[in-house]
A and B are shown apart, each in its own frame.
Chain A
Amino acid sequence: MERKKTYIEDIDRGIYDIKNDFTYRYKTDKGLTEDIIMEISREKNEPEWMRDFRLKSLEIYNNKPIPTWGADLSGLDIDNIITYIRPDTDMKHSWDDVPEDIKITFELLGIPQAERESLAGVGAQYDSEVVYHNIKQELIDQGIIYTDMETALKEYEDVVKEYFMKLIPPNDHKFAALHGAVWSGGSFVYVPEGVQVDIPLQSYFRLNAPGAGQFEHTLIIVEKGAKLHFIEGCSAPMYRVNNLHAGCVELFVKENATLRYSTIENWSKNMYNLNTKRAVVDKNGTIEWISGSFGSKVSMLYPMSILRGEGARSEFTGITFAAEGQHLDTGTKVVHAAPHTTSTVNSKSISKDGGYAFYRGLLRVAENAYGCKSTVSCESLMLDNISKSDTLPIIELNNDNIDIGHEAKIGRISDEAIFYLMSRGISEEEAKAMIVRGFVEPITKELPLEYAVELNNLINIELEGTIG
């Protein structure tokens, strides 16, 4: 089947900065109290166990301290983040039915276009609620479930109960507890045994209201021998007030299954991005993380793979781009908890204009994980002299029958490389952009074409003004 290429033309930051007027059907008061939690649960018509779960999480949240390591979270005033916002629409299945202004926003971001051309299904979330969800009929026929979390909670209650926040429990850390209390929206995907989904499924989250929080929960279960590629995109317009993103992504990869999870996070620069993503992989299963972090003011993002089945595998490819005013603390964690497991990490970061990119990694090999292998490679590029880039990997090995290699490099674009390109008629600015694109190429080549195009465009936006 020939895939037509979709170009998202003309993406410039301007598109991301479109703000729609603030009309909402329902909005909780700011801050967090038991009453608010009950309100949220009621509005959603949730089963009792979920309501209790939320209340329990709130209790944990109130008792946990804010982490003192990592980025500075003092600018985040959680009490003032509006927790729950329902846009003025019910969820639609046909794009035509979605209200005009919301539709325009997503259209400009290229979402419906992309869906028509190359995706199997799309979910679009606007503030706290999913406004659009669609999945190709042929997938439904194969037994694949792709729906929003709220619907999943009602229609597949048992499955959700079995998996929900088992991988990232509320007492894991403060923001997991917060999430447990106020989560809203997000995708639920279930791929039955042996089903191979050839075309990617996509979710897109958009935060429109100022001072709001996004707490979507993504739960994906890929059964034995199945295969899925899931793409998640996130953005929010620029406001002066801070927004918070504390979502959770839980991925269950069963025996011999493969899941590829691609994310481009392009939050605006007033966003605190404290997302928690975790995958658990069973025997001979594979998880592939493809991750691009561009926006947000502060990010603390450490996708984690737990390799608990023999022969399980994790591959992580990521790029972090920290520009002015950004502190991006990102990295990955891999735990080898079974024999003959393998992992690779290929992480690149770029910092400029005073941006701060911090790679924090953990590689742990448990006592019983013999015969495992891991290679980690981190490269940091600093584009000027006022930025900062640090790498802090922690390697904990508790078995001898292993093969572990780790390397990291820091540097700048070499003058010699720029001169070489310029001697071939390429301008200085273009030469730098070429080198940076070459630097991120391992990531762009893993993304579906339209995302690769978007990524390159984002790099061009970010690089503007980097001469000198």
Chain B
Amino acid sequence: MLWKRIGLKDFEFPKIHDYKKDYIKIEGKFPKEVKINRISESENKYFDIEFSGVGDKFTSFAKKYYNAGIQLRLPRNTKIVEPVKLEFHMDENNPTLVDKNLIIAEEGSEVNIIMDYYSNEKIETLHNGLTVIYAKENATVNIIKIQRLGDSSQSFDSNIAYVEGNGKVNWISVELGSYISGSNYRTYLDGEASGSNLSSIYLGDGIRKMDLEYTMIHKGPRSISNIETKGVLKDNSKKVFRGNLDFKRGSRHSKGVEEEYVILLDPTVKSDSIPALLCDEDDVEGEHAASAGQIDENKLFYLMSRGLDERESKKLVVEASFRPIIDRIPYKYLQEIIFDEIERRLIDA
């Protein structure tokens, strides 16, 4: 991630305190073969990977100085429907969070994970995370990350997944908080017919700056990827979107699609997009589309003619744009949290 675009030059990590709050929340009973524990040094070998994420500085820091995180291993053919929830709700006593997470889904297993990062807007907090996922053959990992830290926070999140044959890793990323947010999601589609979907929504307001990088690397034949990003920017916010679809030689019959749409609400916003398409294999289909603009005047007029004021109308249009992605989050309470946050930032601001 090149910081020059969002202007974060000499970043230094503050002192990291222990993270004392509980965050692992599991509803219902899990089979006892499923092992969920706090992350420990015993799993270091899985983190011995070449991955810069949002920046070498950040990933190496997370590897060494973590103060939270889980290691989760699902045995073969074990499917869990109830989600594994990690609620990182920071406060004055826990203002620094460095989470290091490892998820290994053995053959044929399935798991849903929710990671919710929250803090009150007044408190200055720092979050730096690193999540590594291994999805073996025929395994499915669905992971939802919601970043709704307060306006005085900084958040950095690096994520990487390795997917084997017929495996799937589906990411949903919701970026709603922090005044500086850098996130990086990289998926290696190693196995034949491996697949990955990444749906993301982001909302920039005030002075927020975001650098979002999503990468799909197709190595196995017949692999499929889909990146869909929807965003809205207002006030003096700025965002950089980097989408990378990379077809390596040997990934024949693969298909990758990347789409990014952003609604711009004020003339003072800045939006950069770099949707890259790299191709070293001829027998693939790769496409990307990016578009940006204001809310359609006609839509606005129609809603206002039905009695909604301008703010309310804009909010509705933004919600309509986000809805297809929010609908993919199968948890009502999370959907409500997201809609509330959107309302707060678009109406109450």
Chains A and B touch each other in the complex, with CB atoms below 8 Å apart: yes
CB within 8 Å of B: which residues of A?
367, 370, 380, 382-385, 387-412
B281 contact set on A, CB distance < 8 A: 385
Contacting pair A407 B287 (CB below 8 A)? yes
Contacting pair A402 B293 (CB below 8 A)? yes
| Partner among A385, A387, A391, A398 whose Cβ is within 8 Å of the Cβ of B277 | A391
B269 contact set on A, CB distance < 8 A: 397-398, 400
Contacting pair B274 A384 (CB below 8 A)? no
- On whether A411 and B285 interact (CB within 8 A), knowing A367-B267, A392-B274, A395-B273, the answer reads yes
Chain B residue with the shortest CB-CB distance to A415:
B283
The DSSP consensus for interface residues of chain A is strand
CA distance A398 to B282 in the complex (A): 36
Contacting pair A400 B266 (CB below 8 A)? yes
B288 contact set on A, CB distance < 8 A: 406-408
B292 contact set on A, CB distance < 8 A: 395, 397, 402-404
Contacting pair A408 B282 (CB below 8 A)? no
Interface centre among A389, A397, A405 (most CB of B within 10 A): A397
Chain B 84-125, CB-CB to A under 8 Å as 1, else 0, gives 000000000000000000000000000000000000000000
Q: How close is A10's CB to chain B, nearest CB, in angstroms?
A: 32
CA distance A309 to B272 in the complex (A): 23
Chain B residue with the shortest CB-CB distance to A359:
B277
Contacting pair B272 A410 (CB below 8 A)? no
Contacting pair B294 A407 (CB below 8 A)? no
- On whether A394 and B279 interact (CB within 8 A), knowing A408-B288, A409-B286, A411-B285, the answer reads no
- On whether A405 and B289 interact (CB within 8 A), knowing A391-B277, A397-B272, A410-B277, the answer reads yes
A383 contact set on B, CB distance < 8 A: 282
Contacting pair A408 B279 (CB below 8 A)? no
How many B residues are at the interface, by size bracket? 20 to 34
CA distance A407 to B280 in the complex (A): 19
Contacting pair A390 B270 (CB below 8 A)? no
B26 within 8 A of A: no
CB within 8 Å of A: which residues of B?
233, 247, 249, 264-294
CA distance A398 to B270 in the complex (A): 4
Q: How close is B224's CB to chain A, nearest CB, in angstroms?
A: 15
- On whether A393 and B278 interact (CB within 8 A), knowing A370-B267, A402-B294, A406-B291, the answer reads no
Q: How close is A113's CB to chain B, nearest CB, in angstroms?
A: 39
A367 contact set on B, CB distance < 8 A: 267-268
Please give 9 more A-B residue pairs, beta carbons under 8 A apart, in addition to A384-B282, A404-B293. Answer: A380-B279, A382-B282, A387-B282, A390-B278, A393-B274, A396-B270, A402-B292, A406-B275, A412-B284
| Partner among B280, B287, B293 whose Cβ is within 8 Å of the Cβ of A403 | B293
Contacting pair B277 A408 (CB below 8 A)? yes
Q: How close is B325's CB to chain A, nearest CB, in angstroms?
A: 20
- On whether A394 and B272 interact (CB within 8 A), knowing A370-B267, A385-B282, A400-B265, the answer reads yes
CA distance A401 to B263 in the complex (A): 10
Contacting pair B291 A410 (CB below 8 A)? no
Contacting pair A404 B291 (CB below 8 A)? yes
A391 contact set on B, CB distance < 8 A: 276-278
CA distance A394 to B290 in the complex (A): 11
CA distance A193 to B61 in the complex (A): 64
Contacting pair A402 B264 (CB below 8 A)? yes
Contacting pair B289 A410 (CB below 8 A)? no
Q: How close is A235's CB to chain B, nearest CB, in angstroms?
A: 29
CA distance A404 to B274 in the complex (A): 13
CA distance A406 to B262 in the complex (A): 12
A394 contact set on B, CB distance < 8 A: 272-274
CA distance A41 to B278 in the complex (A): 46
Q: How close is B16's CB to chain A, nearest CB, in angstroms?
A: 35
- Name 11 A/B residue pairs within 8 A (Cβ), A-sorted: A390-B278, A391-B278, A392-B274, A395-B272, A397-B264, A397-B273, A400-B294, A408-B287, A408-B289, A410-B285, A411-B282
A410 contact set on B, CB distance < 8 A: 247, 277, 279, 284-287
Q: How close is B225's CB to chain A, nearest CB, in angstroms?
A: 13
A412 contact set on B, CB distance < 8 A: 282-284
Contacting pair B282 A395 (CB below 8 A)? no
CA distance A404 to B285 in the complex (A): 24
B294 contact set on A, CB distance < 8 A: 400-403
Chain B residue with the shortest CB-CB distance to A391:
B277
A406 contact set on B, CB distance < 8 A: 273, 275, 288-291
Contacting pair A411 B286 (CB below 8 A)? yes
Q: How close is A288's CB to chain B, nearest CB, in angstroms?
A: 24
Q: How close is A393's CB to chain B, nearest CB, in angstroms?
A: 6
CA distance A109 to B219 in the complex (A): 46
- On whether A390 and B279 interact (CB within 8 A), knowing A395-B290, A397-B292, A410-B287, the answer reads yes
A388 contact set on B, CB distance < 8 A: 279-280
Q: How close is A414's CB to chain B, nearest CB, in angstroms?
A: 9
Chain B residue with the shortest CB-CB distance to A379:
B287
CA distance A382 to B233 in the complex (A): 37
| Partner among A395, A402, A403, A409 whose Cβ is within 8 Å of the Cβ of B274 | A395
Q: How close is B253's CB to chain A, nearest CB, in angstroms?
A: 11
The 8 A-B pairs with the shortest beta carbon distances in the complex, nearest first, are A400-B264, A382-B282, A410-B286, A412-B282, A391-B277, A397-B271, A395-B273, A407-B289
Chain A residue with the shortest CB-CB distance to B246:
A390
Contacting pair B267 A400 (CB below 8 A)? yes
- On whether A393 and B271 interact (CB within 8 A), knowing A384-B282, A385-B249, A411-B286, the answer reads no
CA distance A407 to B288 in the complex (A): 5
CA distance A384 to B282 in the complex (A): 6
A393 contact set on B, CB distance < 8 A: 273-276, 290
Q: How close is A264's CB to chain B, nearest CB, in angstroms?
A: 26
Contacting pair B279 A397 (CB below 8 A)? no
Q: How close is A330's CB to chain B, nearest CB, in angstroms?
A: 15
Interface centre among B282, B285, B294 (most CB of A within 10 A): B282
A395 contact set on B, CB distance < 8 A: 271-275, 290, 292
